[in-house]
Chain A
Amino acid sequence: MRAPRILVAAATAMTVAAGTACGPGTDASAPSGTGPGGKPFKIDVLLGLSGDYAPVGKAMAQGARAAVAVINQQGGVFGKPVEINVIDTAGDPVQAVTQARKLVAGGRPQAVVPGMVTADIMATAPLLTQAKVFMATHGPDPRLNDPKKYPYLFGTTYLRDQMATSLAAEFTAKGFKKVSLITAEKSGSVGAQTIKDVLAPKGITTNIVTVPVTAVDATSQMQQALDLDPDVLVLDSYGPPSAAILQARTKLKPATPTYASQNFSSGDLAQTGPVSAYAGVRLQSLSFAVKGHQTTQTPAFKAFFDAARQQAGGKLEFSMNTYVVTYNDVILAAYAAKLANSTDPAKMTAAIEKASPAQIPYFLGPVNFSPSNHYPSFGPQWWAFTGYNGMDNAQIVPAQP
């Protein structure tokens, strides 16, 4: 009997020791609301710096660092420079959860960008919510915009229905009634359904055709899409199948007007096909990804663009969206603390819900959050439709009409 008792005693002692040792060491375990004069505001950013998504993850990290540079130029938060801590998740939900648990175990982090791809974010968000952590995310899944379920989570990007609304406006203006939409599994099939649901009340019917992710040829799908004699063809894929889809269009040369959704445009357009393959395609894009658009003439955009290029070593290789999403995540988190003058998640949340555009001048996009809507609403002025004439520093060079 003796040995076990000693064992238990030792174990208890060690647990307590471990608890006290790591307790006061971290800033965030101090009572909530370490305000001005405390330690520097720190944002933990979960990104896939290795694995399948490594190149994109690295570009996203550059976007996040660009935001830090811009904020610190403006005096930082609580009068001190902001810090970010980029943590590698390899784009894998298991590793993302592990890292999130690790963060929470060390005391409540002040703000977290909870992952890189939807899988990561969907896995970490519930856990971080449970630990009452303030989150700013670029996850586009509408399930995340649920302040009841995720009270401390804010989105920084457009949701799919907004992208669809912009398309709906364009199609209504052109008088299109019948849409054939080509999407790819994984990237877009959920988004495609959203587009269909948004277009339906406008009297526009959508026929969705899905291309397998592993497809090397999308001719049959393109034929299927054209079979119904649609008024307009929409390309809505992301990643490898996009090239096959574009090739199929080149081959079949349909006379049908063709649009590429933001989903498609945020991919690597230059690798998807040559400029000639885009002849007759209108690209839907976030406006600041189009070279020369008026939303790129603001001081906020210029600050972002300069900082991002500096972080990337002069040239932006990936799509504009890649850099903007994490940039916005960090900007929003930092301003939440700055406006609330606190790191208390409830106060930060309240501050963002009430914030006006002027209060967050460096956020690229609309600032119109509310207690019931934690994602920004990108209105028509944030969307552009343009022809494609190559890329320049992550910006689409518009084709001359």
Chain B
Amino acid sequence: MTTIWTGLAIGAVYALVAVGYNITMAQSGIFNFTQGQVMVFGCFFAWFTMVDLNLPWWGAAVAGAVVCGLIGLLVELLAVRPVVARHGAHGHALLVTTVGAFVIILGALAATWGRTPKSLPFFGGSETVTLLGGKLSPVDLWLVAIAVVTALAMHLVSGRTSWGLSGRAATDNPDAAKAKGVNVTALRTTAFMLAGALGGLLGPVLAPKVGVSVSIGVSLTIYGFVALALGGFGSYLGCLVGGAAVGLVQASAGRYFGAEYPPLILFGLLVLILLVKPTGLFGHRGLRVV
């Protein structure tokens, strides 16, 4: 049971990255390469505000949301908008610039706060909790709860609000949506900002779990993507399932086979799902990315 809890907790992290990816996917059809790295930024920022500035955790979360929302805005303004204007939303130029933005955030973090990892204790304590016969930390519980709440909330937002619905229309057929008066650019911008803000908001909870270090950006980016691909592009609830699957595979393969195997197994799983069911388990057709 402890293994399952471990898997779910780390899976919750990947699910949250996947939700972040999904926000821009669902609202603009654009894959936001920077999401994982923005979340790492959120961790650093939480460490900075809580350790250096002594802010309470909620203050750090709000400040993080604002700053990371701005980063999302900048990414959209500088790396996405000019390229979409010039080459459309599907060219490979967009890949170069979003990977570039990913690298910029990585470089800025390394230059500002260095490459030595830091740690941030969890504000909710570190007393082990025993639940259903398995042990877990308070931060694990929080993460699982937050992931479920966030995914549900986004699911409702995308299905019930006009913002979510027009996003769906815009990704299904941008020209038709434009003709109906949907402001596609505004949708994209708000989506990037929301995804960024989510990353910043989560900083105080994520940082104690994943650590404050520039080296984790790649794993968050990749495993978050595996979670998204498994769950399905465009589906928030799929993100939860995908995240849980990735976390459980990682925890149990790591436990019963050895550390070399989880990446290999997850890689195989990713390639398999992309080849066999490119929309993922719960994805909707319009958002095939392959």
Touch between A and B in complex, CB under 8 Å? yes
Residues of chain A lying within 8 A (CB to CB) of residue B211: 216, 240, 243-244
Give every chain B residue within 8 A of A223 (Cβ-Cβ).
2-3, 6, 255
From 234 to 285 in chain A, residues with beta carbon under 8 angstroms from any chain B beta carbon are: 239-240, 243-244, 247, 250-253, 268, 271-274, 276-277
Stretch of B61-69, B113-121, B146-154, B225-233 that contacts chain A = B113-121
Q: A52: which B residues are within 8 A, CB to CB?
A: 115
Measured between beta carbons, the chain A residues less than 8 angstroms from B115 are 52, 54-55
- Is the Cβ of A253 less than 8 Å from the Cβ of B116? no
A216 pairs with B219, CB closer than 8 A: yes
Q: Kindly state whether residue A373 has any CB partner on chain B within 8 Å.
A: no
Closest approach, in angstroms, between the C-beta of A312 and any C-beta of chain B?
Answer: 16
Bound-complex Cα distance A224 to B213 (A): 25
The answer to whether A220 touches B116, judged by C-beta atoms less than 8 angstroms apart, is no
Contact A216 B10 (CB under 8 A): yes
Interface presence of B184 (CB below 8 A) = no
Residues on A with C-beta less than 8 A from B2 are: 219, 223, 252
User: Quick one: closest B residue to A53, CB to CB?
Assistant: B115
Does chain A have a CB within 8 A of B135?
A: yes
Q: Assess whether B215 is in contact with A213, with CB atoms less than 8 Å apart.
A: yes
Q: Which chain A residue lies CB-closest to B117?
A: A240
Is the pair A253, B13 in contact by a Cβ cutoff of 8 Å? no
Which chain B residues border A268 with CB–CB below 8 Å? 116
**Quick one: given A220-B254, A221-B259, are A214 and B121 in contact (CB under 8 Å)?**
no
Using known A-B contacts A216-B209, A220-B6, A221-B255, determine if residue A251 contacts B117 with beta carbons closer than 8 Å. Answer: no
B10-A271 in contact (CB<8A): no
CA distance A216 to B224 in the complex (A): 13
* B9 adjacent to chain A (CB < 8 Å): yes
B97 neighbours in A (Cβ, 8 Å): none
- Interface size grouping (class) on chain B: 35 or more
CB distance from A241 to the nearest CB of B (A): 9
In B126-185, which residues have CB < 8 Å from any A CB?
A: 126, 128, 135-137, 140
0/1 string, A205-222, CB within 8 A of B gives 1: 000011111111101110
B117:A271 contact, CB within 8 angstroms: yes
Contact A216 B255 (CB under 8 A): no
Task: Name A334-377 residues within 8 Å CB distance of B.
Answer: none
Q: Is B103 an interface residue (CB 8 A)?
A: no
Given contacts A216-B211, A217-B6, A217-B9, contact A210 B258 (CB under 8 A): yes
Q: Is A185 an interface residue (CB 8 A)?
A: yes
Say yes or no for B271: interface residue by CB 8 A criterion: no
Q: Does B216 reach chain A (CB closer than 8 Å)?
A: yes
Q: How distant is the Cα of A219 from the Cα of B121 in the complex, in angstroms?
A: 17
Q: Determine whether the beta carbon of B254 is less than 8 Å from that of A216.
A: no
Chain A residues with CB under 8 A of B213: 240
Question: Is B119 a contact of A251 with CB atoms below 8 Å?
Answer: no
Q: How far is the CB of A26 from chain B (nearest CB, A)?
A: 36
Residue B218 interfacial (CB < 8 Å): yes
Name the distance in Å between B79's Cβ and chain A's nearest Cβ.
25
- Are A214 and B218 within 8 A (Cβ)? yes
Q: Which residues of A contact B80 (CB under 8 A)?
A: none
CA A50 – CA B19 in complex, angstroms?
A: 37
The CA-CA distance from A179 to B255 in the complex, in Å, is 17
A212 in contact with B259 given A52-B115, A243-B119, A272-B119 (CB within 8 Å): yes
* Contact between B10 and A217, CB atoms less than 8 A apart: yes
* CB < 8 Å neighbour of B135 from A213, A217, A251, A271: A251
7 shortest A-B CB distances, which residue pairs? A220-B255, A216-B210, A219-B6, A220-B254, A210-B259, A240-B117, A214-B219
Q: List 19 A-B contacts (CB under 8 A).
A: A55-B115, A210-B260, A214-B218, A214-B219, A216-B13, A216-B211, A216-B216, A219-B3, A220-B6, A220-B252, A220-B254, A221-B259, A223-B3, A223-B255, A240-B215, A251-B136, A252-B2, A268-B116, A271-B117
Beyond the given pairs A54-B115, A217-B6, A224-B254, 5 more chain A to chain B contacts, judged by CB atoms under 8 angstroms and listed by A's residue number, are: A216-B10, A217-B10, A221-B254, A240-B213, A253-B128
